[in-house]
Structure 1
């Protein structure tokens, strides 16, 4: 009886079973502007670019007594903060053709100005105001939109506040004098020298490969190309190391943690930069009141440098 009963239960369960549909048999709704995969089919992703609406605050002035909310800016912005202004009346656009619009502002720590707005569509009351650099200093700015209706009538908005956040990076105090600007240029030049050296290495390696396959003068060509590759690779290595060290100092400078040792390392890397660029270019280089020369045009012994070709006229010496 046990075997018979179990068989009946198994047959009953088999008759009651209905296969479930697989994922491939379900009609899923299509989704737009997202990236996903269904049955190995890739959908399109929507790409959005930054425009003025991303960094301009929309301000509508419907009448001279309408409240304008507080706005924000940052001391590190440049032509990247301002107001997208709409001048309306009872909610309808106002024709401001022939009028002049300004942002009158005064900073709590001193300084004031009258910044002119740019007409986007004056017939519909659309204007744009970009905050000037002189206004974007840490602190609170009291401002007002002023509208010159004609030669004798002036109106505008109520006063409102613009809070300017501090810029987290202050290059003016990172290093004294012009060292910081020289340093930034040195980083750019070092990376340029590195790319040039790597290009020279590739060209020299290509020449070596061609020389190996050449039947005539193969040994001489290979030797010259290999030597050039070695020199270029060494220059690339020096430039890469200098760039790496300079960038580490740049990070320290950016967080105001640079000490005397860092500054000394910076100056050493600037010297290394001068030597690398002069050697790669084969020309003289003057940087931060120092002269760098390629070895093909000058030799050094102790504190004395001898130029292989120069002319002197009065107190002026010309290097060639």
Structure 2
């Protein structure tokens, strides 16, 4: 079977996946942690360019990451010939100086305004994929008052934006199984939910996505960034597999996700070039049958979390509560 390659002829990390009708690398890049390089923009741009050199052609971002800083990096780092599929999201706005650096933005007019902001920030006429970040499932913010909006009202404005050509496709993030089922008729291309070896409450949703040809894009791929909760990299079965395979525990956790479901796409994020290389290399890690069986037997035990507790400031996977609330990486 021929090796799937990017527009630059590079092998795709993890092989080929499908998103919004396009072939992409199954190991992509989550750009949120580039906020940590706010004072070193050249290093942040170099990291994005390095991702392309490693075969990454699927990048996840949002205008509320760094209040536009990250989208500006994505705009300047990639050229049309790179053929990088950019996925952004709406449903929150920056909240600089607040205890939580994000605030809900769930109302239809706010979703439209957020898409417009993404268009300006990314410097494009159309965002290829936009995820609607709901606030009724998973870790992070919860909607209250006028921010409690029915999914049908939100999908109405998202489909209108798609019809207008401002977004190419619609995804969902932090949703329940019921919400996904209600949204299927509009055409959903991906679902981003908190999911890992230790947090598999959404197994039924993952199966539905596979049946419906919807990409499954887990955040918190190595467990929660909240303090005191289990992390995949501390799990004995993961440590044993890493020793057997000569890899890192993080690579084992990522490889398990790829082997667990063929519609899985990963978006591990980091601000470190060495971690970036390790993340992409995880796409080539093949778990042996014994290790895979031991990992499959690990019980799911990660509870749902909201912002009742602050995020850990000591975890190497995040540097702020915004990073813990969204797609914390393993790096």
Between structure 1 and structure 2, the one with the greater Rg is 1
- Structure 1 or 2: larger strand share? 1
Q: Using CA pairs under 8 Å that are at least 6 residues apart, name the structure with larger relative contact order, 1 or 2.
A: 2
Same fold (TM over 0.5): no
TM-score, scaled relative to structure 1: 0.23
TM-score, scaled relative to structure 2: 0.22
